[in-house]
Structure 1
């Protein structure tokens, strides 16, 4: 029997397809080391996205695959994750202390975008990332209520502000700076300026991801924000019904025009299961998100049910992933978070260097 060699091990590893990224482990570039000691094999895998909930299952799959190689002895597998900063729109640079910004958008209101955004942020955190949330809906901020945040943020120097924190997330919203009942009667340029200040003046601390909950629609405000904020990727939220996917397609095309990669589509309120009889009904139609994803060649990150618990938990200030972390709903959000982050990990990394000025003094 021929002794094992590294080529055999690599071929076996590339046969293990990452279900979140859709590629083999070698093709993904996440196999960082292969050690051979006689018949014994040691493999070091570093994923480019947070996947704490999948590490053990991946390690078990790799051990099983490598143990099946002829002549294989003991197999040791190490799995970790490391999040890198990825490219943003041309002429923009990532923010200090924020590796990646993920914009969550929809073409229309009422599709559960904000609820999806906060649960996505909590899910990324549950998978091992450091995460923040920025509420970009100046006219109708809802993030403070959803995250149970109260009180004005602190400003240590009178120029910058500390993010509010709850459930482990860092968060900022205009809703924390004005009275809850005060309407924001501002024109577009004021809204854009306010959001840029909230983003740039907040003292974000070592974020792997900043999830931005964009206002609904694709008007001047959304387009301007998409051009001025250094976004690494976008997630589109829709319901299955045709009128919702029609508007969601506009949001997707907006990001294409400003060269922001769309990481995928989340289909919200896909099915309702009666809590009394268990009957499943597609209240808003079926398959709209899947058809949209196929049409534009982007992944369907996942489908979420129309479930009263999601609404009740968000209204109470403890969204589903925080309130019931082991539930099927939370696991669905975590799978969506892994898929979105995995798609981002496939994008080019940010290679920009700070400007260095050398002067004779």
Structure 2
């Protein structure tokens, strides 16, 4: 009896191994890793007697553009196993929590990705892109919010028509409850009963900060931030208050637009926010079977080439695109099968895939390898991986606790840090740094730039065998 039970357990183990081996043929194109290593396969149940296999594929976003492909391939690769008669695959999504959520205001703690849509120039259709992108992502299955960050000229009240056009306050918590239209949560100064504001810059920064951080956004997969034009104090405040995952840049074909956009891309670059796509609006129109480019060509492709931004999308000059913005019904909702909606569908796929890729790179950028007692660093967008000694990292802390802010004198002495110190926890902070917690309770903020400058481990220690 025991022998049979042992054999059955052994064969179940082999059957599970067969299924996982088959599923590991499926590669996630965003992460470049198979779906088993990504941890997507959950609740695997095998009944060998009836030849039935069931499992769940848990993706990182409900808007995954290739979820149907994953489901189909998973069915196919498991079904070809000789002993399998029936395969049952269910799909689910467990969106990644925001990176370093404990440091964020309560309202932002359940937002997985925050995407800025920016033009750095007024009148190029940035709000049109932001709103249509948001409704495209909803159509892909995501939970989405839009934050209209323009206090001087809020566009959102014109572009969408929610029944409730006033933001409500939760008197007990002192928080803002967003209004909603066609499944998207909305916050704009234009819904605050103020209309357009006349106020000085520092006041505007405060209003934007308050609106954004005290709103009860709830659980969102994507919060689209419609940035105000320019690259000044308001934009910097926004980028510092909110851990932006990525930015989408909107431009028009004129040279003047390119000059302003270049400023914006440089600002995002300094703030370590990756620009993942450029949208060239009002780029062309079709008439008499020909395509015309009235403003010339090349501003968008110039941005893409000069700054290495991976994707470029063209939007036509189309009366319905601006009219739908003025009518309160976004174009992608009014004509979901049209040419404009197809372009936005491609932009939506790009944003989803790039955000997933960025998060993956950030979450694995700095890790501690216990077997060799070294910190591994692989900075996003770099192919190079290097090792650092934990004590060296701790001794290179540049915070006020380690270095006198006024004199530059080193307060933390070399001998204060034991040679065999090991980090207790390493967590990403946005796209630019990690927070390392040490045994003495000290939390060190280590920007990637700084880690790249630290003396590296050349003699790699041999792995210490882990006790069985």
Match of 1:155 in 2: 169
Where does residue 208 of structure 1 map in the other structure? 221
Which of 301, 307, 312 is equivalent to 2:318?
307
> Which secondary structure does the structure 2 equivalent of 1:56 belong to?
helix
CA 1:93–1:252: 2 relative to 1, 3 Å: farther
Match of 2:303 in 1: 292
How much does 1:316 deviate?
Answer: 0.4
C-alpha separation in 2, matches of 1:27 and 1:107:
42
Of the structure 1 ranges 224-233 and 336-345, higher mean CA displacement relative to structure 2 is found in 224-233
2:119/2:229 contact within 8 Å kept? yes
Q: Name 2:128's counterpart in structure 1.
A: 115
1:279-327 superposed Cα distances (whole Å, 9 cap, x missing partner): 2223344454344234333321633332222111111001012222333
- The 1:62–1:142 alpha-carbon spacing in structure 2 relative to 1, beyond 3 Å, is same
Superposed displacement of residue 36, structure 1 = 7.4
| Structure-1 residue corresponding to 2:119 | 106
Q: From the superposition, tell whether residues 69 and 254 of structure 1 become closer, same or farther in structure 2 (CA, over 3 Å).
A: farther
CA contact (8 A) 1:87 1:232 kept: no
- SS at 2:168's partner residue? coil
Shift in alpha-carbon separation, 1:50–1:335, aligned structure 2, 3 A: farther
Residue 321 of structure 1 is matched in structure 2 by 332
State how far apart, in whole Å, the 2-side matches of 1:123 and 1:72 are.
Answer: 39
In 2 relative to 1, CA 262–304 (structure 1 residues): closer, same or farther, beyond 3 Å? Answer: same
Shift of 1:138: 0.7
Q: 2:344 aligns with which of 319, 333, 347?
A: 333
Deviation at 1:46, TM superposition (A): 3.0
- Give the CA deviation at 1:345: 1.6
What's the secondary structure of 1:46's corresponding residue? Answer: strand
Change (3 A) 1:315 1:89: same
The partner residue of 2:230 within 188, 201, 217 is 217
SS in 2 for 1:302: strand
Indicate the residue corresponding to 2:58 in structure 1: 46
2:95 is aligned, of 76, 79, 83, to 83
Kept in 1, the 8 Å contact 2:61–2:221? The answer is no
Secondary structure of the corresponding residue to residue 26 of structure 2:
helix
Which whole-Å CA distance do the structure 1 matches of 2:298 and 2:40 have between them? 36
Give distance in 2, aligned partners of 1:284 and 1:138.
30
**1:168 and 2:179 are equivalent in the alignment:** no
Q: Is the 8 A contact 1:301 1:340 kept in 2?
A: no
Structure 2 length-normalised TM: 0.63
Q: Which has the higher contact order (CA 8 A, sep 6+)?
A: 1
The 5-angstrom pairing of residues 1-361 of structure 1 reads 5=18, 9-10=22-23, 12-14=25-27, 18=29, 21=30, 23=32, 25-26=34-35, 29=38, 31-33=40-42, 44-51=56-63, 54-60=66-72, 63=75, 77-87=89-99, 95-149=108-162, 151-157=165-171, 159-180=174-195, 182=196, 184-274=197-287, 277-300=288-311, 302-346=313-357, 347=359, 348-349=362-363
Give TM-score scaled by structure 1 length.
0.80
Residue range with higher mean Cα deviation, 116-125 or 235-244: 235-244
What SS class does the counterpart of residue 345 from structure 1 fall into? helix
Question: Shift of the alpha carbon at 1:172?
Answer: 1.1
User: Aligned in 2, Cα 1:67/1:27: closer, same or farther, shift over 3 Å?
Assistant: closer
Shift in CA distance, 132/7, structure 1 to aligned 2, threshold 3 Å: closer
**Superposition deviation, residue 118 in structure 1:** 0.8
RMSD: 3.5
Structure 1: 5+ residue runs without aligned partners?
Answer: 354-361
Distance 1:220 1:179, change over 3 A: closer
Between 236-245 and 164-173, the greater mean CA deviation after superposition = 236-245
Instruction: Give the drift of 1:193.
Output: 0.2
Cα distance change of structure 1 residues 320 and 64 upon mapping to structure 2, 3 Å threshold: farther
For residues 41 and 151 of structure 1, what CA distance do their matches in structure 2 show?
A: 51
